[in-house]
Protein backbone atom coordinates (compact mmCIF):
# COMPACT_ATOMS: atom_id res chain seq x y z
CA UNK A 1 0.00 0.00 0.00
CA UNK A 2 1.48 3.34 -1.01
CA UNK A 3 1.43 6.57 0.95
CA UNK A 4 -0.97 7.99 -1.63
CA UNK A 5 -3.60 5.47 -0.44
CA UNK A 6 -3.25 6.55 3.20
CA UNK A 7 -3.70 9.60 5.41
CA UNK A 8 -1.34 10.47 8.24
CA UNK A 9 -2.77 9.76 11.66
CA UNK A 10 -1.72 13.24 12.76
CA UNK A 11 -3.68 14.91 9.94
CA UNK A 12 -6.70 12.76 10.76
CA UNK A 13 -6.50 13.78 14.42
CA UNK A 14 -6.24 17.48 13.61
CA UNK A 15 -9.13 17.34 11.11
CA UNK A 16 -11.40 15.41 13.51
CA UNK A 17 -10.25 17.14 16.72
CA UNK A 18 -9.21 13.95 18.48
CA UNK A 19 -6.00 12.88 20.20
CA UNK A 20 -3.41 10.44 18.91
CA UNK A 21 -4.00 8.49 22.12
CA UNK A 22 -7.51 7.67 20.87
CA UNK A 23 -6.16 6.15 17.65
CA UNK A 24 -3.49 4.27 19.60
CA UNK A 25 -6.15 2.79 21.89
CA UNK A 26 -8.29 1.73 18.91
CA UNK A 27 -5.24 0.17 17.28
CA UNK A 28 -4.33 -1.67 20.51
CA UNK A 29 -7.90 -2.97 20.74
CA UNK A 30 -7.63 -4.28 17.16
CA UNK A 31 -10.44 -2.08 15.86
CA UNK A 32 -8.40 0.01 13.44
CA UNK A 33 -5.28 -0.69 11.41
CA UNK A 34 -2.40 1.80 11.57
CA UNK A 35 0.66 1.49 9.32
CA UNK A 36 3.99 2.98 10.37
CA UNK A 37 6.36 4.11 7.62
CA UNK A 38 9.56 5.97 8.52
CA UNK A 39 8.29 6.75 12.06
CA UNK A 40 5.07 8.28 10.67
CA UNK A 41 1.75 6.60 11.38
CA UNK A 42 -0.70 6.28 8.51
CA UNK A 43 -4.32 5.20 8.31
CA UNK A 44 -5.27 3.27 5.15
CA UNK A 45 -8.05 4.92 3.12
CA UNK A 46 -10.36 1.93 3.57
CA UNK A 47 -10.28 2.43 7.38
CA UNK A 48 -10.89 6.18 7.37
CA UNK A 49 -14.70 6.10 7.19
CA UNK A 50 -14.95 3.56 10.02
CA UNK A 51 -12.52 5.59 12.12
CA UNK A 52 -14.54 8.76 11.49
CA UNK A 53 -17.71 7.00 12.69
CA UNK A 54 -15.99 5.74 15.80
CA UNK A 55 -14.46 9.16 16.51
CA UNK A 56 -17.89 10.81 16.28
CA UNK A 57 -19.42 8.20 18.58
CA UNK A 58 -16.59 8.72 21.05
CA UNK A 59 -16.75 12.52 21.06
CA UNK A 60 -20.48 13.10 20.60
CA UNK A 61 -21.82 10.29 22.79
CA UNK A 62 -18.78 9.78 25.06
CA UNK A 63 -18.60 6.04 24.29
CA UNK A 64 -15.48 4.38 25.71
CA UNK A 65 -13.14 2.03 23.84
CA UNK A 66 -14.96 -1.10 25.07
CA UNK A 67 -18.24 0.28 23.78
CA UNK A 68 -16.62 1.20 20.48
CA UNK A 69 -15.37 -2.38 20.14
CA UNK A 70 -18.94 -3.62 20.50
CA UNK A 71 -20.24 -1.02 18.04
CA UNK A 72 -17.54 -1.87 15.50
CA UNK A 73 -18.39 -5.57 15.81
CA UNK A 74 -22.10 -4.91 15.34
CA UNK A 75 -21.48 -2.62 12.35
CA UNK A 76 -19.38 -5.37 10.75
CA UNK A 77 -22.18 -7.88 11.30
CA UNK A 78 -24.69 -5.49 9.70
CA UNK A 79 -22.43 -5.02 6.66
CA UNK A 80 -21.99 -8.80 6.34
CA UNK A 81 -25.75 -9.34 6.52
CA UNK A 82 -26.41 -6.62 3.95
CA UNK A 83 -23.88 -8.25 1.61
CA UNK A 84 -25.61 -11.61 2.12
CA UNK A 85 -29.05 -10.12 1.44
CA UNK A 86 -27.79 -8.56 -1.82
CA UNK A 87 -26.30 -11.87 -2.87
CA UNK A 88 -29.48 -13.80 -2.09
CA UNK A 89 -31.57 -11.17 -3.81
CA UNK A 90 -29.49 -11.52 -6.96
CA UNK A 91 -29.79 -15.30 -6.85
CA UNK A 92 -33.54 -15.03 -6.37
CA UNK A 93 -33.79 -12.64 -9.32
CA UNK A 94 -32.13 -15.26 -11.54
CA UNK A 95 -34.73 -17.88 -10.56
CA UNK A 96 -37.62 -15.45 -11.00
CA UNK A 97 -36.52 -14.77 -14.59
CA UNK A 98 -36.86 -18.43 -15.59
Rounded percentage of the chain residues whose pLDDT exceeds 90: 83
> DSSP class of residue 39?
T
Quick one: fold of 3-96? Multidrug-efflux Transporter Regulator; Chain: A; Domain 2 (1.10.1660)
Are 44 and 8 in contact by the 8 Å Cβ rule? The answer is no
CA-to-CA dists, residue 38 to 21, 32, 42, 87, 92, angstroms: 19, 20, 10, 42, 50
Q: Kindly report, residue by residue over 6-33, the tens digit of the pLDDT.
A: 999 999 999 999 999 999 999 999 999 9
User: Does position 77 have pLDDT exceeding 80, yes or no?
Assistant: yes
User: Does position 63 have pLDDT exceeding 80, yes or no?
Assistant: yes
The structure's pTM equals 0.78
Report residue 97's pLDDT band, with 50, 70 and 90 as the boundaries. Answer: confident
Residue closest to 16 by CA, chosen among 65, 49, 45: 49
Residue closest to 37 by CA, chosen among 15, 5, 79: 5
Amino acid sequence: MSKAEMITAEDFCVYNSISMQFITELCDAGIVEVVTIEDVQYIPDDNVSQLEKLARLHTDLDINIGGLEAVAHLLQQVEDLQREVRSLSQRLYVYEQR
